[in-house]
């Protein structure tokens, strides 16, 4: 069940599509507020990495569900050095490849995978409340994982800006690379928004920000300004 939040800790839910700046913004908010940080997307990516490594057909929901059930994920929540390990092996670098990015939506659409990972995410959130709280980013945080979070943010940006950002993350600079990333982002947006279970959507009561023309600092300042009264109520 969703975690109930009391005065012991704060949860900030940050949702949005790929390349919107969720990770950078979420980590900075966590630093400023002295909170832990959880990248839920990394958990789905880790399962995807294991599936690809073991040559599992990611279009086979039963096979993907079995891999998810058998894989032990260990997640570090330090915003300065977040970590993700699968069966004791650090996979932080491997999960950021184009192959994983293009396969993760199929894996994340499997109901059994979502059920297992959402349960683990809620456990991490509950454990973090006693330590002050946590900033959680993903695609279904404010709508499914933590719908009662006192602060919800939906971060977006134009597809073109997001493609450019993602290509830079991959170390790509060519026009063809950006065009390829643009097409891949459009495909992933469609998959994530149309999946049957926990689709990407704007959570009720969320602060919606378009980061296309904003710096990270400007986005963080706007989130802090617009949620000031909510933050005060939970202090």
> What percent of the residues of the chain are helix, what percent strand, and what percent coil, each to the nearest 5?
50, 15, 30
What is the model's pLDDT at position 2? 52
What is the model's pLDDT at position 149? 93
pLDDT tier at 7, thresholds 50, 70, 90? very low
* Domain count within the chain: 1
Calpha distance 155→161 (Å, rounded): 13
Examine the pLDDT at 95 and tell me if it is beyond 90: yes
- Domain presence at residue 3: no
- Domain presence at residue 5: no
Residues 190-235 have pLDDT tens digits of 777 777 777 778 899 999 999 888 888 999 998 888 888 777 766 5
- Domain presence at residue 4: no
Number of other CB atoms surrounding residue 8 within 10 Å: 11
CATH number of domain containing 156:
3.40.50.300
- Domain presence at residue 2: no
- Domain presence at residue 235: no
Reported pTM: 0.87
What is the model's pLDDT at position 6? 44
Residues 158-201 have pLDDT tens digits of 888 888 777 777 666 666 677 787 787 777 777 777 777 777 78
What is the model's pLDDT at position 218? 93
Structural domain of 185? 10-227
- Domain presence at residue 1: no
Calpha distance 13→203 (Å, rounded): 10
What is the β-pairing status of strands 83-86 and 73-76?
Answer: antiparallel
% of the chain with per-residue pLDDT over 70: 91
- Domain presence at residue 232: no
What is the model's pLDDT at position 5? 45
Residue 231 to residues 9, 97, 112, 151, 225, Cα–Cα distance (Å): 11, 36, 34, 8, 10
What is the model's pLDDT at position 168? 76
- Domain presence at residue 147: yes
If you average pLDDT over residues 35-44, what whole number do you get? 97
């Amino acid at each position: 069940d969703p975690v109930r939040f009391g005065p012991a800790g704060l949860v900030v839910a940050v949702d949005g599509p790929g390349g919107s700046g969720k990770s950078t913004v979420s980590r900075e908010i966590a630093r400023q507020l002295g909170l832990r940080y959880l990248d839920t997307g990394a958990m789905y990516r880790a399962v995807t990495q294991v599936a690809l490594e073991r040559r599992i057909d990611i279009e086979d929901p039963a096979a993907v569900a079995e891999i998810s059930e058998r894989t032990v994920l260990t997640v570090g929540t330090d915003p300065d050095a977040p970590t993700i390990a699968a069966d004791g092996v650090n996979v932080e670098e491997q999960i950021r490849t184009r192959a994983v990015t293009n396969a993760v939506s199929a894996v994340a659409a499997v109901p059994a995978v979502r059920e297992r990972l959402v349960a683990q995410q809620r456990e991490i959130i509950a454990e973090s409340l006693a330590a002050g709280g946590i900033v959680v980013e993903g695609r279904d945080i404010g709508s499914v994982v933590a719908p009662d979070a006192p602060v919800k943010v939906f971060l977006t940006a134009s597809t073109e800006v997001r493609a450019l950002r993602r290509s830079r993350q991959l170390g790509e600079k060519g026009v063809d690379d950006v065009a390829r990333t643009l097409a891949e982002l459009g495909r992933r947006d469609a998959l994530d928004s149309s999946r049957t279970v926990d689709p990407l959507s704007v959570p009720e009561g969320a602060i919606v920000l378009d980061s296309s023309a904003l710096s990270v600092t400007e986005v963080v300042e706007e989130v802090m300004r617009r949620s000031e009264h909510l933050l005060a109520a939970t202090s």
